[in-house]
């Protein structure tokens, strides 16, 4: 039984996209999660006490709230909860913050850890299924890591360890992969839409190309998947693209040049050089 992998009863704090998806996924995994709103729990932490009692079962507190709400929530809860029973844990799901933000709860006896799913949640009905197969960055005390890994296994994910000094770079990687990719899709859409196709038709036209490019980059690696003028060393076409961009939307020049640099690094045609800079407009 999947549920047997989590020897706690889960209490999810936060009813946003992540909290809602987490509660639904835990329920589908055969567990019986309790839930509470994040804002209400910050304002009235004593209301969480009845959920944490759990009829004698050991709780694992899952804080799925905004980064800026974690510290006040942890402090508020620590001010009202009694000393934790043996095995009780408090985990947060932030990617940017480590387990130190839960220090007030650790002082009350909770095992603590950060447990961040390397996944994006959009409020879609399929969000709950997105935990399965996802990597989870885990950092915390020995007992906190054990609780986090049990949670990840219950959700069908894959835990991996991360050190506190690597967390900023880890979160950068996650943000580039999700948000940077989304921004790039928007830039490609806008460029195609500007030809007269229109935004919705541009997305529909680009979708097969984008899906194939991403699939191949993940399947065989970015170096092997790279195609196009940079991979061929075709600087004439690159310059044509540069001039078209300047004529269309000069504000996206930095994005274009940064992506050229990355493609050159992948293709082995040499690192970016000052000669490849976009010419300044007068």
Q: For every one of its 282 residues, what pLDDT tens digit does the chain have, with 9 covering 90 and above? A: 344 456 678 999 999 999 999 999 999 999 889 999 888 888 888 888 777 776 667 889 999 999 999 999 999 999 988 888 888 999 999 999 999 999 999 999 999 999 999 999 999 999 999 999 999 999 999 999 999 999 999 999 999 999 999 999 999 999 999 999 999 999 999 999 999 999 999 999 999 999 999 999 999 999 999 999 999 999 999 999 999 999 999 999 999 999 999 999 999 854 445 454 444 433
| Whether residue 25 sits in one domain with residue 146 | yes
| Whether residue 50 sits in one domain with residue 115 | yes
Query: Of 134, 162, 190, at which residue does a domain stop?
Result: 162
**58: burial class by Cβ within 10 Å (0-12, 13-18, 19+)?**
middle
Check: CB of residue 10 under 8 Å from CB of residue 155.
Answer: no
The rounded distance, in Å, linking the Cα atoms of 163 and 179 is 23
Check: CB of residue 90 under 8 Å from CB of residue 114.
Answer: no
Query: Of 128, 162, 196, at which residue does a domain stop?
Result: 162
Domain with 11 in it: what CATH number? 3.40.50.720
Domain that holds residue 266: 169-276
The rounded distance, in Å, linking the Cα atoms of 19 and 37 is 9
| Whether residue 194 sits in one domain with residue 149 | no
Looking at the chain, the number of H-run helices and the number of E-run strands are 13, 7
- pTM across the whole model: 0.86
| Whether residue 59 sits in one domain with residue 33 | yes
| Whether residue 183 sits in one domain with residue 43 | no
- Whether 281 maps to a domain, the answer reads no
| Whether residue 198 sits in one domain with residue 158 | no
| Whether residue 140 sits in one domain with residue 176 | no
Query: Of 129, 162, 195, at which residue does a domain stop?
Result: 162
- Counting the structural domains of the chain, the total is 2
State the CB neighbour count (10 A cutoff) for residue 106.
Answer: 20
């Amino acid at each position: 039984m999947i549920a047997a992998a989590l020897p706690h009863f889960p209490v999810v704090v936060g009813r946003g996209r992540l909290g809602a998806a987490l509660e639904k996924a835990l329920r589908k995994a055969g567990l019986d999660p309790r839930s509470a709103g994040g804002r209400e729990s910050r304002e009235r932490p004593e209301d969480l006490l009845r959920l944490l009692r759990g009829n004698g079962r050991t709780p694992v507190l899952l804080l799925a709230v905004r980064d800026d709400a974690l510290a006040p929530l942890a402090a508020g809860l620590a001010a009202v909860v009694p000393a934790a029973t043996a095995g009780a844990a408090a985990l947060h799901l932030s990617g940017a913050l480590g387990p130190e933000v839960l220090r007030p709860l650790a002082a009350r006896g909770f095992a603590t850890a950060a447990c961040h799913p390397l996944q994006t949640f959009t409020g879609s009905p399929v969000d709950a299924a997105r935990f399965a197969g996802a990597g989870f960055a885990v950092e915390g005390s020995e007992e906190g890591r054990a609780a986090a890994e049990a949670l990840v296994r219950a959700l069908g994910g894959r835990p991996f360890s991360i050190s506190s000094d690597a967390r900023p770079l880890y979160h950068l990687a996650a943000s580039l992969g999700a948000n940077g990719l989304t921004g790039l899709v928007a830039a490609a859409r806008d460029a195609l839409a500007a030809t007269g196709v229109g935004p919705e038709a541009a997305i529909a036209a680009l979708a097969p190309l984008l899906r194939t490019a991403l699939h191949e980059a993940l399947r065989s690696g970015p170096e092997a998947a790279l195609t196009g003028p940079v991979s061929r060393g075709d600087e004439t076409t690159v310059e044509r693209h540069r001039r078209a961009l300047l004529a269309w939307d000069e504000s996206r020049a930095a994005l274009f040049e940064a992506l050229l640099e990355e493609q050159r690094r992948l293709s082995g045609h040499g690192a970016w050089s000052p000669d490849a800079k976009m010419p300044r407009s007068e």
